[in-house]
């Protein structure tokens, strides 16, 4: 018996059927989540849609389970075990587990919608022209332009910014050598793009790290935290310019500079507009940044190809197929975050049962020590090749809704966001380190433990100073 089945006269493979079911589940998950979160403000009965969204998220994860990485499968199974253990041993903690399930569902929906914009953004020519504009700045300003520019470009292009800027530098160097002129050294450019992309994760309101902290710390004002995290990232970025500079080169042609300037302005305007709309939805509808992003990102995925024809998908691609593809692309991340939210809640229940919460409330475990401990231990987990996303979610679950998060929400949130960013910098298995190593022709371990070590240590020291200041001010 083959895997091809006839349905209404059309031959569908098993993969086609799974893709269609996955697309439908993604629609239900996102639609029910958004409708439930908005509707429950009007009538409590709408909250039941959160269960529909959660059921769709779990079913989608199960469908994708045979095709995700081994670590994602391990954590999915562990999440099921933790949930069953809590239900049997501590049924009074089930409301906390339910909240964790809903939070994991929001992560899964957010990551799926994030996958929707990958295709149009990767196909965009405007982003490539905007990135090339950064090379036209005078040599003394180029390092700053690339570090700060990479932050804003990577809000949309994410880790693709590193490879794109490295490729542009390599091409420019090759053309310069052919003409007997000095060219940009691609290595410092690649590192500037890496560091800019890393620091973007501290403040990006449609990023995963920001989503984790804003959803896990009830007392945190996301709008004020966006301003705080942005300012902190800019300060740390300015200091990072002392760690390596891009090489000097002749300026590109003036026509490219003009075209690139317009493209860069358009991208900056798009990023600003994206953030503004997300903020407006968050405030106007009284929904979380995660849910607001689930509205904004699909809208961006629809509008971008209409504005830039080069970013259009092949003809015949339906919205359902696009969602199915997005869920497949982000399956590993969505499964891990859904599972990690549940596991983190279970670990929190266990540790509180052992008296950790009481120790914190009594002052035996100082809040500042816990906050700075998160800042150090999450990157350490990354350096030890432990998936830092899982440690991050567990730390947020454990401390976010407890005494530490209640007393010092901004210091804890900033510590977690910097920990997330610096764990990426310190982890040889992070996608950014792997991509950077590929472009620098060296193993990712050398990127993290040698080439980028000074930046990581500087980031830890600078962010620790800022977090300590915020701790005493709030």
Q: To the nearest whole percent, how much of the chain has pLDDT over 90? A: 38
Q: Which of 320, 281, 294 is nearest to 107 (CA)?
A: 294
Are the CB atoms for 169 and 272 separated by under 8 Å?
Answer: no
Calculate Rg over the CA atoms of the chain: 23
Rounded distance, CA 448 to CA 432, Å? Answer: 10
382 sits in which H/E element: helix 367-383
- b/e code 79-103 from CB counts within 10 Å (16+ = b): beebbeebeeebeebeebbbbbbbb
Q: Which of 185, 130, 135 is nearest to 155 (CA)?
A: 130
pTM of structure: 0.84
Q: Of 34-48, 51-65, 233-247, 263-277, give the lowest mean pLDDT range.
A: 233-247
Are the CB atoms for 200 and 275 separated by under 8 Å?
Answer: no
Which stretches of 301-392 are assigned E, i.e. beta strand?
none
Distances (CA, A) of 365 to 7, 141, 377, 406, 417: 63, 45, 16, 15, 22
The residues pairing with 10 across neighbouring beta strands, listed in sequence order, are 7
Q: Tell me the per-residue pLDDT of 112-166, one tens digit each, with 9 for 90 and over.
A: 998 888 778 777 888 888 887 887 777 678 788 888 988 998 888 777 788 888 8
Please report whether residue 406 resides in a domain. yes
pLDDT band with cut points at 50, 70 and 90 for residue 248 = very low
What does the pLDDT average to over 267-291?
Answer: 89
- The pLDDT assigned to 46 comes to 92
Please report whether residue 345 resides in a domain. no
SS3 429: coil
Give the Cα-Cα-Cα angle 367, 373, 379 (nearest 5 degrees).
Answer: 150
Q: Tell me the per-residue pLDDT of 308-347, one tens digit each, with 9 for 90 and over.
A: 877 676 665 677 888 888 888 889 889 988 998 899 888 8
Please report whether residue 195 resides in a domain. yes
Please report whether residue 22 resides in a domain. no
Rounded distance, CA 143 to CA 42, Å? Answer: 50
- The pLDDT assigned to 345 comes to 87
pLDDT band with cut points at 50, 70 and 90 for residue 5 = very low
Average pLDDT, the chain: 85
- The pLDDT assigned to 31 comes to 94
Rounded distance, CA 440 to CA 191, Å? Answer: 9
Distances (CA, A) of 378 to 186, 207, 392, 426, 429: 30, 17, 6, 10, 14
Are the CB atoms for 436 and 167 separated by under 8 Å?
Answer: no
Q: For residue 206, what are the domain limits?
A: 125-309+354-473
Are the CB atoms for 436 and 254 separated by under 8 Å?
Answer: no
Tokens 């010092």, residue? 408
Counting DSSP H helices and E strands in the chain, the numbers are 23, 2
Q: What is the number of domains present in the chain?
A: 1
Q: Tell me the per-residue pLDDT of 386-407, one tens digit each, with 9 for 90 and over.
A: 888 888 988 888 888 888 999 9
Please report whether residue 428 resides in a domain. yes
Q: Which of 369, 356, 373, 384 is nearest to 460 (CA)?
A: 373
Rounded distance, CA 73 to CA 392, Å? Answer: 18
Would you say how long the chain is, in residues? Answer: 474
- The pLDDT assigned to 361 comes to 66
pLDDT band with cut points at 50, 70 and 90 for residue 44 = confident
What does the pLDDT average to over 235-242?
Answer: 91
What does the pLDDT average to over 85-106?
Answer: 92
pLDDT band with cut points at 50, 70 and 90 for residue 244 = low
Rounded distance, CA 385 to CA 460, Å? Answer: 18
Q: Tell me the per-residue pLDDT of 425-474, one tens digit each, with 9 for 90 and over.
A: 999 988 899 889 988 889 999 999 999 999 999 999 999 999 999 999 98
Q: Which of 389, 467, 456, 396 is nearest to 231 (CA)?
A: 467
Return the higher-pLDDT residue of 326 and 88: 88
């Amino acid at each position: 018996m083959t895997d091809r089945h006839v349905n209404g006269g059309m031959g569908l493979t098993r993969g086609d059927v799974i893709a269609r079911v996955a697309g439908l589940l993604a629609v239900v998950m996102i639609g029910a989540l958004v409708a439930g979160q908005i509707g429950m403000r009007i009538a409590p009965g709408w909250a039941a849609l959160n269960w529909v969204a959660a059921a769709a998220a779990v079913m989608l994860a199960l469908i994708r389970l045979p095709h995700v990485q081994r670590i994602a499968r391990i954590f999915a199974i562990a999440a099921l075990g933790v949930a069953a253990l809590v239900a049997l041993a501590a049924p009074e903690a089930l409301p906390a587990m339910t909240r964790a399930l809903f939070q994991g569902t929001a992560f899964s929906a957010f990551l799926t919608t994030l996958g929707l914009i990958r295709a149009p953004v990767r196909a965009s020519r405007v982003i490539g022209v905007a990135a090339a504009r950064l090379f036209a700045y005078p040599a003394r300003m180029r390092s700053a332009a690339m570090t700060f520019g990479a932050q804003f470009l990577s809000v949309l292009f994410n880790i693709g910014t590193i490879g794109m800027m490295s490729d542009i530098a390599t091409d420019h160097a090759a053309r310069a050598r052919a003409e007997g002129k000095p060219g940009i050294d691609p290595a410092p450019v690649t590192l500037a793009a890496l560091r800019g992309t890393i620091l973007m994760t501290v403040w990006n309101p449609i990023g995963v790290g920001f989503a984790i902290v804003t959803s896990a710390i009830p007392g945190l004002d996301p709008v004020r935290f966006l301003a705080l995290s942005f300012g902190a990232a800019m300060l740390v970025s300015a200091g990072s310019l002392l760690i390596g500079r891009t090489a000097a080169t002749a300026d590109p042609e003036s026509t490219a500079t003009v075209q690139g300037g317009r493209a860069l302005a358009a991208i900056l305007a798009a990023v600003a507009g994206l953030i503004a709309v997300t903020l407006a939805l968050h405030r106007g509808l009284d929904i979380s940044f995660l849910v607001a992003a689930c509205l904004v990102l699909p809208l961006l995925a629809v509008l971008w190809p209409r504005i830039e024809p080069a970013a259009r998908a092949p003809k015949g691609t339906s919205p359902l197929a696009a969602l199915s593809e997005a869920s497949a692309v982000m399956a590993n991340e969505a499964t891990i975050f859904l599972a990690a939210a549940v596991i983190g809640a279970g670990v929190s229940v266990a540790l509180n049962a052992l008296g950790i919460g009481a120790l914190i409330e009594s002052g035996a475990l100082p809040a500042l020590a816990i906050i700075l401990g998160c800042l150090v231990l999450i990157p350490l987990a990354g350096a030890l090749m432990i998936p830092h996303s899982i440690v991050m979610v567990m730390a947020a679950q454990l401390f976010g809704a407890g005494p530490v998060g209640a007393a010092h929400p901004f210091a804890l949130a900033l510590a977690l966001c910097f920990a997330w960013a610096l764990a990426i910098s310190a982890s040889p298995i992070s996608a950014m380190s792997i991509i950077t190593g590929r472009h620098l022709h060296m193993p990712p371990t050398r990127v993290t433990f040698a080439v980028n070590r000074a930046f990581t240590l500087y980031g830890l020291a600078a962010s620790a100073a800022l977090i300590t200041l915020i701790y005493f001010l709030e």
